[in-house]
Amino acid sequence: MDVLSQLQRQLADFLASLYREGFVDDQFTQLQKLQDESSPDFVMEVVSLFFEDCEKLVNNMAKVLEQQVVDFKQVDSHVHQLKGSSSSIGAARIRNVCIAFKTFCEAQNREGCLRCLQQVNHEHAQLKANLQSLFTLERQIVAAGGSVPAMQ
């Protein structure tokens, strides 16, 4: 019981820090709300889908940006997609980078785009690590027989 409450507090702290540092926003909360008994792993599914998607998009963009003549339109559409999915899951930091990214695309600024791509990669890795530890915590709590506290 002691372990469980400790874990639960840990989870709450961790989540709070995630919000505080702006990794996720309230959309993530909304997402968590959508998870119920009928789809117990909903968030994880969506998030992993997002990460897959993200990796794919990042790779594509990197390829396009490597080329001699950069097709900024293509990059822009990728960024748009990434922005859409990141705001859907509430990955605030990635979305913010995407906003800047889009501006660079419109300005056809290759340097800026590359910098943003790197940033996206970085944020993506961080978020992935963070969320993985979050899920691990949740699983531990579930394994310990507790329930994941519902978000307010």
Residues 5, 20: Cα–Cα separation, whole Å? 22
Q: Long-range contacts: 142-148, Cβ < 8 Å, 24+?
A: 144/3, 144/4, 144/7, 145/4, 146/4, 146/7, 146/8, 148/11
| Contact between 87 and another protein per CB under 8 A | yes
Contact 120, 95 (CB under 8 A): no
- 7 or 98: CB nearest another protein: 98
> Minimum Å distance from CB 89 to another protein?
6
| Contact between 32 and another protein per CB under 8 A | no
Q: How many residues bind another protein (CB under 8 A)?
A: 32
Contact 100, 69 (CB under 8 A): no
| Contact between 72 and another protein per CB under 8 A | no
> Minimum Å distance from CB 71 to another protein?
13
- 5 or 59: CB nearest another protein: 59
| Contact between 16 and another protein per CB under 8 A | no
Coil vs helix vs strand at 145: coil
Terminal Cα distance for the chain, rounded:
23
**Contact positions vs another protein (CB under 8 A):** 25-27, 29-31, 33-34, 39, 42, 45-46, 49-50, 53, 77, 80-81, 83-85, 87-90, 92, 95-96, 99, 103, 107, 152
